[in-house]
Every structure is written in C-alpha cells, then in structure tokens.
Structure 1
Amino acid sequence: MPDATNHAVNGPTNLPSACADGIAGEPPSKRRRRESEERQQREIGLMRQGDGANVPSFVGSASGIYFVRSVYNALAKSRVHLPPQTPDQNIVPGEEDQLDEAVPYSSKSLWSPERSETANSGLSTFEFDDLQTWSESYFENWHTAYPFVHAPTILEYLEQHVRPVTLPELCKQRSPRFTIIRSIMSISLADCRQSGRMFEKLLPAFLVFTSFREAMESVQDMLFKPSSIDALQAVVSVQLFLVSMLRLNGASRLGGMIVRMAFQLGLHRCPARYAGFDREQAELRRRLFWTIYCMDRYLCQSLGLPLTIRDDDVDVCYFDDEKHEIDGRHRAAMDDRLRTLNFLTKHASIKGQIVELRNKSIHQRTANRDLATLIGARIGKWANDLQYVLDAADHDEPGQFSTLHEVVLLVSQHELIISLNRPLLALERHTPEYMAALQTCIRASDTIITTLYRYVFFRLVQRGEGPSTAPLLWPSLTWCVWMSAFIVLHAAIEGEMPKHVARHLAANSVEILRHLALRGSVWPNVCAVAINDLFLRLLLDSNVTTPQSPPVEASHVEPRNETNFQENAAPTTHRPFRDNPRLYNRFSTTSEQNDPSNHATSLIGPSPSTSEPQLSIPWLSEADAAGATSDNIFEQFDIPFWIGDDQYSSVLNFDL
C-alpha cells in the first residue's frame, strides 16, 4: 500500500463565542495562526490514496486511526531496527476491504467438517430439540441484548417448517424468515469456537451461511421488494452476523440499506404516538429500531464514518422513559428483559454525541468545553444507573444481567471515557488538557484490560476449566482492547507509566485478543501482533546506549517467582475490581493459591523488579524475533475459519 496522505477532513474551525473571547482582541493574522495551530493539534481522518489495484478510501478519526499512527510515528525513529511484523498502520480492525481484493468475500467455506456438514453431503436427520440446541447460544447471548425478532415466532417457525426434507427448498426460496434462521445458526456456530462446545450432531450446511458471500447474497432479493418488518429483520440478522465476525465494511454497506428501510417503515417515529399499533407491535418496532441504532453507532465509530441516524431525526422513546400517551393509555413499565438493550441504546446515544463533538468536519467541529463536560456528566449518570441495577441484583431484585453482559456494559463505560478523552492526546504535550486526558485514558485502559482478563481467566482456577469456556463474544471488545493497549504504549513512551506495569497490561491484552481470535476473525490476532511488535521496540529502544548515556548491564532472565510476580502484578490486576466489589468478589477468591494472577505467571512470565533496566519480552522468544519477516500478514490472506486449517496459522498463532 502506498504512503497514506492525511487530509484534515476532521478538525475544528468554528469556535463558540465563549472560547473565542481570549483571541477577540488579537490581530487577524495572529488569530488565524492560532486557529491553524489548534486545528493541527486535533485528531484528523485519513484518506488513503489508490495505487491502481486499490481505490482511494477513507477512515475517520473516530476510529482512533490518528492516535494509532501517532504511536507508530513516535517509535519510527527507534534506534532498534527489527524486521517489522505489524500490519499496515493505516488500517483499523474490521476493515476487510483492505484485505486482498479477492479475499474479503471469497467463497471459501466458513466451517470445518467437524462443525458443519458440507453442502454436497447427505442430509442427516434432526429434531426440533436439535434446532433448539444449535440456536441456544444466540438466544442466550445475542437475542438478550438485541431482541429485534420475536423469539416465540421464530421458534414456532423452526418447529413447523424447518425439517430435513424441506431444507433445500427453503434455502432456494430465500424467504426473510429462513434468512433469519440461517443468521441465528451461523452466529451460534461461531460462538461455539470460543465456548469450546461441541454438538452431538453436525449442523446441515443449508442451515448456515457457508461463506460471507453467501450471507450477503441472501438479502439481495430485499432490494426488489417493498420494505417490510420481516425483510428488515432479515437484513439486520445478516448484518449482526457480519458484525459478530468483524466484517465491518460489508456490515456498514448493509447498514445503509437497513436505515433507509427503517425510515420508509417509520421506525424512527415513536410507535406509542400512533393508535394503529397494538402494544406488541409497538414493542417490536421499538426493539427493532434501537437494535438498528446501536449497530449504526458501533459501525460509524469503529470505521470513523459520519452518523447515519442523527438524534434530531428520532423521537422513539427509551424503554424506561415513555413520553407519549394516546387515548388515555397508561404507560407500561419496562420489561426487565429489555434492560440490557436499554443500557446499550443510551450508550450508543452518548457515543454519537462524542462523535459529533470530536470528529465532525473541520467546518462544523467546535472546541466546546461545556458540551464535553455535559457529555462527561451523561457518562457518569449512565455508569451510576448501571451500578444501581447491579447493586439491586445483589439483593435478588429484578433486572440482573448475565455475566457476559455485565462485563460488556462495564467495559462500555470506559470505552466512552476513552472516546471522549483520547482526541485530546493530539494537543500539545504537558498542557493541562493533555495531561488530564492522558491520565483519564490510562485509568480507563487499565480497567478495560484487567476486567476482560479476569473475566476470561478466572475460570481456570475457580472451576478448573480452560479460558475457552468464557464466551467473550462482543465485537466491540477487539477495538476496546486494541485502543487500550495503544494508550498503554503511548503512556510508556511518554514516561507516564512504569514499563513493568505497561508490560503486564500489554501481555494481558495479547492474551485477551488471542481468546477473541478463537471466533475465526483475523483482526484480534493482527492487533496482538501489532502490540507485540511495538512493545518490543519500545523496551529494546529504551536500553540502547547512546553517546549521551552510559551503557547498562544486560540483565538475565530470572526464574519464575510466584511471590515476586504477585507483588508486582497486584496493583494492576486487582485495583480496578476493588472499585466494583460485586465484580471483584465474583472474579476473585480469598485463597491466594486460587488467585488467577498466580496462574497468569505461566502465561506471561515473571515480573521484573521496578529497578530492572532491561525487561524480557514474555510473549516473543529470541528465535521468534530473529525469524520475523517483513511480509505483510494481510497479503493473500483469508480468514482462519477454523483453528489449524490455514496456511498462515504459523504467522498469526505465535507462541505467547
């Protein structure tokens, strides 16, 4: 890929009067110079130039691309020259369009023969109980968060219409409802890679999407038919499947179709305003719209694209805050089963406000500190409301989340904090705004990495199970860990975080990403490779002698010492959980030998003392570093659809 060119498509120009008072009396030339300097100190997007094979493409600053490139550039003048392993620094997780042009939607099968039948194999017999078992993960993990379909209707369809003899004809017809079934089964089958669950019977190939191309093609007919709820649900189900596999460019393109269909159906208007919808219809329309809204916010932020759904075009009420009444109809209390979606909806709304504040066009963005403070207050209220529900659940009151959704929501809180404060890291170093934002981002990154690490690995000790039994299915977690690790690296570069602390956080983030990669997406492994390479450069560069610095004695690698590791790891591993006693009690034990941090020693090696001048790299051996090549790991690469069945597995599944 040729050198990318930055275009200041995202930057501030119009300052509000409250912020412009300080320069009102200055000469025009000086004022313009100060405005120009401030614009250069803001996060901007990236316009990639085409090279014949690839067309020009854009990724916006909301994705974090500007900050990531800044971290790369800080180490670009490193005195240590290692063969690079990292992917191109101008991409963000989920951009499958940046893979080889023949790869993103190839017809290669998604599933291993141990998981699913091939399309040419004979149809095995199955019962309704098998269909329930195959779809269980979806209804437990995804439908609870995004209930955009009516579950009883789907189960009734499975029971009455989906039989071995009818599958070929159903697949050929590509009806909206059967497309939903295939999306549900495909998501559930992908979930099993992380949970380690094996089905007694193989899934028929007709019940799943055998390739991403097949998934996209399954909704083509919706373009030629009038918009309907069934058709819209089918397209949303395919989008959710693509999002769950981090195929974000394709999911975003489907999002444009989805939003237009939603507008045509009037889903952006509160159904409680219209007497023609009964309570069940109104609830389904609201659930469907807010699912679409959450997906739109996630995709726009992850890829740095403008918001497709703007809040000032929507008047749909939250589930717990109905503002409309018709004909004296009483407002119904919120169904507790919708609590997770209600929190995700409000989270998506705040995320959109942050994008509008920090990542607008240069002609629209403003440096409005009051608005930033207000958004910070909304994040605080969202977090407090979440804590009230968690505290109530401790007393067996209604509204308890599953462990997965509880962790996702806790991480989402700190994701918002990073999104709001990270753009300020583009400001001049050592200004009050920069220093405050950096410390805030460090704290949020620490909490994200530690929360997820403990969630994945606490089962190793408490239940004697492997980490693959912890379903870490949420697509946004890859971005959260990736961005948190880069913040940790930035803090270490700036001397704002001790390197031994950054080392533990970076190592833990790599372990989390490896677990996320079990789903079959390339992006978590790519992020892990980038973190590994950059942190290696940082540590080695800090110990290269220069004429101005005396040489340091090379330290030897100490044997693993459980006590030494726990003393150094405790501040990083335990502190964030003490802020949330409920989660701390759940993910920790009173017995020292049952502490997951002890098990972590076998994963990331011993902790050096704080005075150690040179640190060992826990996840990269000397042989691995010496054997690293400069080949782009994206070159001619396709998704490792199942473990051990890809020619590039030796590159991605490095020994950590």
Structure 2
Amino acid sequence: MTDASSQVNSHLTPQEQEGAGQDVDARPTKRARRESQDRQRREIGLMRQSDGANAPSFVGSSSGIHFVRSVYQALTKSRVQLPPQTPNQNMVPGEEDQLDEATPYSSKRLWSPTEIDEALEGSPSLDFEDLQTWSESYFENWHTAYPFIHAPTILEYLEQDVSSNTFANLRKQHPSRFIIVRSIMSISLADRKQSGYATERKIFAALVFTSFKEAMESVQDMLFMPSTIESLQAVLSVQLFLVSMLRLNGASKLGGMIVRMAFQLGLHRCAKRYHGFDTEQAELRRRLFWTIYCIDRHLCQSLGLPLTIRDDDVDVCYFDEEKHAPPHSRRMVMDDRLRMLNFLTKHASIKGQIMELRNKSIHQRSASRDLATSIAANIEKWANDLQYTLEAAKYNEADDFNKLHEVVLSVLQHESVISLNRPLLALEKHSPEYMAALQTCIRASRSIISRLHDYLIATPYSSVLQPPLLWPSLTWCVWMSAFIVLHAAIEGEMPKPVARRLADQSVEILRHLALRGSVWPNVCAVAINDLFLRLLLDSAAPTPQSPLADTHSNLPHVLNSAAQNEQSNLFNHAANVTGPSPSNFEPHLAIPWLTGSDAAAATSNNIFEQFDIPFWMGDDQYTSLMNFDL
C-alpha cells in the first residue's frame, strides 16, 4: 500500500478500514457493500447526553433499547398525530436514575398509614405469629427461589430476639441480621400490596424500609467493615428488595459492592475443593453465590451493562452437577428445594452467553452462526429439562412446583429466545435471517403474554395460596413482547385485531404489576396503549391518493378528533391503573403523607409528573444509524 493510501486509511473508521482495498480509489464490490451494511445493521446501545440536570448515561443493547427506538421511529411518520404524551423512548424499565430532580432515593414514603404502624422506639410487643404472617410471602415465594440465607437461623432470630427486644437494641446487637429482617418484611409487604391480602395487624414501621433512601443507607456501614457471609447476605437482601421494586440502577450499584465482597470471600470457587468447610457451610456458600450470579445477570441484561461475573472466572458447581467431590465418594442427590435456583442459575448462564454473542462492544461482537445454534440448543435443553421436572412433579415423583415459579420459568424460556433472536431484527428486511427471527420472536412474545394473562385471570385475589405475579423481570418481558407484537403489526406479519388483543392483555398484566408500587409498569402500559392506538388510527386514515380523501376531505380532522378523545380516555384509564389503594397514582387524588414537591406532583393534571420522568431528552448521536428502512 502506498504512503498516500495509508494516510487516507488513517482517517477511516475501523469498519471502513476493513472494507478498504489495496487501491483506495477502487469501488467496493456489491458483496463488500452488503457486508458493511450488515455490520451497521446491528443493535446498538444509547449514550444519552447531559440535559443539564442529569449527567451523560449509557444503556446497552441487551436492554432492547435499539429495537424499542426503532418501533417508535416507525410510528413517528404516522398520518394521525396524537398528543406527544407517550413515555420517553430513551429509557428502559428500572432506570430510576433517570427520574427528574435527583429524587429516586429521596425520603418519599413507600407505604401508606393503613399499611404500617408508626410506633415509637421501645418494646415492640410483637407476637411470633405476627412476625411469621408478615414474612410469609417472602419465605414462600422468594426464599425458595433465592435461598441465600439460612432460614432456620432467621426464624430463630425472629422468635427469640425480635419478638422480645427493642428496635434500638436490635440495630446494635446484630445489625446485619436486622437488615435482613427489614428486607424480608419490606418485600413481603410489597407482595401483599400486589395481592390485595391484608393482615389483621399493621406492621411496625421500624421493621421495614420506609423509603428507598433508607434501604440504601442501611448498608453503607458495610463498606467500612470486614467482609463476612452475614454482612454480604445483608447487602444482598437489600439489593433483592430494590430489584423487586424495579429500582434497578440502585440495585446495580449495590451489585458492584456485592460481587467484590463475594470475590473477597472466595465464593466464586467451589467450596468442595477445600477441606475447611463442612457440608452445611459449603452448601450455603454455593446458594449464596448462585443467587448473586442470577441477580447480577438479570441487572446486566435489563440495563444493558457488561457482565460483572464472567463464567470463565467461576468454578462453582451446579446443584445437580457436582464435579469436585472426593474420588469414590457417594454421589449426592440434589435437594428438591433447590430445583428453582438450579434452573435460574443455568438460565442466567445462557443469558450471559447471549449477551456475549449479541451485545458486546460493536468492534468485538461476533456473528457466529455456529455459536448462535449452540446457544439455541442450550435453550431447548434447558426447556426440556424443565418439562421433565414438571412432568415428574405431576406424577408425584417429586414435590409440586410453586405455581408462580412454574410460570416464571416458562416465561424465562421465551425471554431467552427473544434475547437471542431480537437483535437479528436490525438486519435487512425480508432477508432469511430477519424473517426467521421475526417469526420466532412473535411466537415467543405471544407465549409470554398469553401465559402470564392466563395465570393472572386464574389467580384468586386475597389469597396467600396463589401468589400474584411477583417476579421482577416480568415487566421487562411484557414490555418487550408488546413492542415485538407492535412491530409485527406494522410489518403486516400479524393481524391487527390479534395485536390489539395481545396489547390489551399486556396492559392488563402491567396494571397488575403496578399494584406493587413501582412506576414502570404504569409507564409501559401507557406507552403500549398510545402506540397501538396510533397504529390502528393510522391504518384507518386515508392516503392522499385515496378516493376517500377526495370525497371526505374532513376525515383526517375527524380521525384526529376521535384520536384525541380516545387518547384522553386511555390516559384517564391509565391514571387509575393501580386501583383504589390510597397509595395509587391517580392524578387528582390527595396523598396526605406526601409533602412539598412530592405532594404537588401527586396532584398534577399530568399523570406522569408525579413520576418525575423527563419525557423528551432530545436527539442523540445514534439517530443517523437508525435511518434504514423499517
């Protein structure tokens, strides 16, 4: 290559350098242009610039932000223009750091006066039966999935210490254990908000976190103390509470602390390799590590962050695949109570493989079809193993699965399918890879929405036997599935009545998820309703060449008027999405325990102002990359 051509190539991007031939004046071949275009047609993350109030921030492609923005962009050309009240297309569920006024961790109260007892410090006069009732949902639904604590120890602590001591003493004597109890009680209380089940006695405010700020502050002393198993459990319990409430950025920040503490304690190494741990200690360490691993993978995928724990740095065995037992030792059979965590762990591993394939830095990303096929095979094997387990439980060969967990695992299977195939929707339309991925994503999205809706309508409310939809990833799954259905309707690959039915079911599921107190299901529900309405009205509007346009010149005006009326009805309906609870988000409802700016926001005419969400944050540097045909 000549010196002149070297100077020219030095100004090219890496992609342009790859396509540059020996002669810089030579026109690239058609195949080279096609490959260059395919490299550009990949899902990319979003770097949001500073808007004066918030610093620059990044959300990665595994969150689905690229696909969501593509759907929004396809509908910006709609002939029927509705009021610009749709939630921000540049955010994903759980990004509370994007809330306005830097208030995501303010002292805003989480619970209403009807839910907690503002008892003063002193003797709590608690009955152990009350403590059991208040924590029941956690141990039934969360502990069986993430058994990172030793339940008998916590129950003994509740019976002997909590029920017979002052709150001040509890904070001093066993601070880590008391944080765990507060997390358990807070998660259970949020569960009861969603289920509609109320206990006879209100829980003491000192036994829960009354604000997200209080939850974050409760573990800050752990930064100055030596890492211990109990302190790690305490921080992890707070993280799980934040995750359950879709405060994912805060949970991710705690995750950095948690992972480093886990590494310091050597939890990423299989305890069976060392003689210093007895069977009970080794099992607890393994349960603790895999819980950390699963939650971390969920956060990384939901927010589009690089993997924090890489598989090649871990040698902890699965519960059903012990590789480090002493030679000639008796093979241990997995405890049936660990089946849920075992499935979640293997699913988290598959999730990491997908992210490494589809969502790494654009310069490091691979397009290996063999690797994609291998991952697809892993998903199918995981699904088959799940089916074998469910069939065994059906025929009483094992204990019954928690019905909620059965539904969650079914949804997670389809979530993996979407995560693997959705990035291919950025490829050239009507290519074989695009069409195959689109149909696969449509099938998975329909399955997610239908499975959750069927469970929802079959769930008896005010029943502790059949839990509500508690799982934190369900908001993301429904949100992404609805956008895939919307995309399919735009492309004519799904009948609009079917798409409308699935959209309605999605909104119904999100309304149920919103009962927990998180703003994100509400916002996602309004976005889905708004965009589907825009699509349906746009398909009914006449084109300029249509005979209807000549004979009924006032029809666009009528359609826009009808659209505005329908939009008003939608937003009035969405305002009541959380039901009659005094802690809902109804725009004109006075909330007496809010003060100052919080109270002003809660009584605003704009139902989103109370969420402190900035809706339009301006263009970004990726806009030009999204101008390919949709």
Structure 2 length as normaliser, TM-score? 0.84
Tell me the equivalent position of 1:99: 99
Tell me the equivalent position of 1:625: 567
Deviation at 1:510, TM superposition (A): 0.2
For 2:245, give the aligned amino acid: M
Tell me the equivalent position of 1:651: 607
Tell me the equivalent position of 1:57: 57
Cα deviation, 1:469-491, whole Å, max 9, x if unaligned, reads: 75100000000000000000000
Residues in 2 aligned to 1:288 and 1:110: alpha-carbon distance in whole angstroms: 28
Residues in 2 aligned to 1:528 and 1:128: alpha-carbon distance in whole angstroms: 40
For 2:567, give the aligned amino acid: A
Tell me the equivalent position of 1:523: 520
Residues in 1 aligned to 2:393 and 2:462: alpha-carbon distance in whole angstroms: 26
Deviation at 1:648, TM superposition (A): 5.8
The answer to whether structure 1 residue 549 and structure 2 residue 578 are counterparts is: no
Cα deviation, 1:318-368, whole Å, max 9, x if unaligned, reads: 000001123654331100000000000000000000000000012211110
Deviation at 1:500, TM superposition (A): 0.4
Tell me the equivalent position of 2:495: 498
For 2:330, give the aligned amino acid: H
Cα deviation, 1:379-417, whole Å, max 9, x if unaligned, reads: 000000000011111111114311000000000000000
CA contact (8 A) 1:148 1:284 kept: yes
Secondary structure (helix, strand or coil) at the match of 2:73 reads helix
Residues in 1 aligned to 2:121 and 2:244: alpha-carbon distance in whole angstroms: 27
Cα deviation, 1:68-123, whole Å, max 9, x if unaligned, reads: 00000000111111102211100000000010133200101111111111265886
CA contact (8 A) 2:269 2:316 kept: yes
Tell me the equivalent position of 2:346: 346
Tell me the equivalent position of 1:604: none
Tell me the equivalent position of 1:216: 216
Residues in 2 aligned to 1:229 and 1:334: alpha-carbon distance in whole angstroms: 23
Summarize the alignment of residues 243-392 of structure 1 with structure 2, pairs less than 5 Å apart. 243-326=243-326, 328-392=328-392
The answer to whether structure 1 residue 511 and structure 2 residue 483 are counterparts is: no
Tell me the equivalent position of 1:414: 414
Distance 1:515-1:527 versus aligned 2 partners, 3 A rule: same
CA contact (8 A) 1:521 1:640 kept: no
Residues in 2 aligned to 1:396 and 1:628: alpha-carbon distance in whole angstroms: 47
Secondary structure (helix, strand or coil) at the match of 1:471 reads coil
Cα deviation, 1:214-257, whole Å, max 9, x if unaligned, reads: 00001001100111100000000000000000000000000000
Secondary structure (helix, strand or coil) at the match of 2:223 reads helix
Cα deviation, 1:592-648, whole Å, max 9, x if unaligned, reads: xxxxxxxxxxxxxxxxxxxxxxxx99xx9964524789xxx9xxxxx9955664436
Residues in 2 aligned to 1:518 and 1:123: alpha-carbon distance in whole angstroms: 33
CA contact (8 A) 2:197 2:461 kept: no
For 1:65, give the aligned amino acid: I
CA contact (8 A) 1:545 1:551 kept: yes
Distance 1:164-1:330 versus aligned 2 partners, 3 A rule: same
Residues in 2 aligned to 1:36 and 1:43: alpha-carbon distance in whole angstroms: 15
Gaps in structure 1 of 5+ consecutive residues: 1-10, 15-19, 555-615, 634-638
Tell me the equivalent position of 1:578: none
Please say which of residues 391-400 and 221-230 is displaced more in the overlay. Answer: 391-400
Summarize the alignment of residues 196-211 of structure 1 with structure 2, pairs less than 5 Å apart. 196-211=196-211
Structure 1 length as normaliser, TM-score? 0.81
Cα deviation, 1:264-320, whole Å, max 9, x if unaligned, reads: 000000111111111100000000000000001000000000000000000000000
For 2:278, give the aligned amino acid: D
Residues in 1 aligned to 2:164 and 2:603: alpha-carbon distance in whole angstroms: 35
Distance 1:536-1:174 versus aligned 2 partners, 3 A rule: farther
CA contact (8 A) 1:317 1:323 kept: yes
Residues in 1 aligned to 2:258 and 2:343: alpha-carbon distance in whole angstroms: 22
Cα deviation, 1:399-452, whole Å, max 9, x if unaligned, reads: 431100000000000000000000000001000000000000000000000000
CA contact (8 A) 2:80 2:541 kept: yes
CA contact (8 A) 1:62 1:301 kept: yes
Secondary structure (helix, strand or coil) at the match of 1:353 reads helix
Residues in 1 aligned to 2:472 and 2:38: alpha-carbon distance in whole angstroms: 34
The answer to whether structure 1 residue 485 and structure 2 residue 450 are counterparts is: no
Summarize the alignment of residues 176-215 of structure 1 with structure 2, pairs less than 5 Å apart. 176-215=176-215
Residues in 1 aligned to 2:150 and 2:298: alpha-carbon distance in whole angstroms: 23
CA contact (8 A) 2:489 2:496 kept: yes
Summarize the alignment of residues 143-182 of structure 1 with structure 2, pairs less than 5 Å apart. 143-163=143-163, 165-171=165-171, 175-182=175-182
Secondary structure (helix, strand or coil) at the match of 2:101 reads coil
Distance 1:465-1:243 versus aligned 2 partners, 3 A rule: closer
Residues in 2 aligned to 1:485 and 1:517: alpha-carbon distance in whole angstroms: 16
Tell me the equivalent position of 2:440: 440
Residues in 2 aligned to 1:540 and 1:109: alpha-carbon distance in whole angstroms: 40
For 1:74, give the aligned amino acid: A
Deviation at 1:652, TM superposition (A): 6.7
Aligned length: 564
Cα deviation, 1:477-508, whole Å, max 9, x if unaligned, reads: 00000000000000000000000000100000
For 1:647, give the aligned amino acid: T
Please say which of residues 308-317 and 450-459 is displaced more in the overlay. Answer: 450-459
Residues in 2 aligned to 1:175 and 1:276: alpha-carbon distance in whole angstroms: 27
Distance 1:522-1:649 versus aligned 2 partners, 3 A rule: farther
Residues in 1 aligned to 2:532 and 2:465: alpha-carbon distance in whole angstroms: 26
CA contact (8 A) 1:83 1:628 kept: no
Secondary structure (helix, strand or coil) at the match of 1:519 reads coil
For 1:87, give the aligned amino acid: P
Percent of aligned pairs sharing the same letter:
71
The answer to whether structure 1 residue 132 and structure 2 residue 132 are counterparts is: yes
Distance 1:204-1:36 versus aligned 2 partners, 3 A rule: same
Distance 1:627-1:503 versus aligned 2 partners, 3 A rule: closer
Secondary structure (helix, strand or coil) at the match of 2:47 reads strand
Residues in 2 aligned to 1:28 and 1:387: alpha-carbon distance in whole angstroms: 55
Gaps in structure 2 of 5+ consecutive residues: 1-12, 552-558, 576-580, 592-601, 610-630
Tell me the equivalent position of 1:573: none
The answer to whether structure 1 residue 471 and structure 2 residue 447 are counterparts is: no
CA contact (8 A) 1:529 1:652 kept: no
For 1:506, give the aligned amino acid: A
Residues in 1 aligned to 2:582 and 2:311: alpha-carbon distance in whole angstroms: 39
Residues in 2 aligned to 1:70 and 1:361: alpha-carbon distance in whole angstroms: 20
CA contact (8 A) 1:194 1:518 kept: yes
Residues in 2 aligned to 1:549 and 1:63: alpha-carbon distance in whole angstroms: 40
Secondary structure (helix, strand or coil) at the match of 1:47 reads strand
CA contact (8 A) 2:68 2:89 kept: yes
For 2:267, give the aligned amino acid: L
CA contact (8 A) 2:124 2:167 kept: no
For 2:607, give the aligned amino acid: V
Tell me the equivalent position of 2:85: 85
Deviation at 1:651, TM superposition (A): 2.7
Tell me the equivalent position of 1:611: none
CA contact (8 A) 2:319 2:342 kept: yes
Residues in 1 aligned to 2:147 and 2:306: alpha-carbon distance in whole angstroms: 26
Secondary structure (helix, strand or coil) at the match of 2:53 reads coil
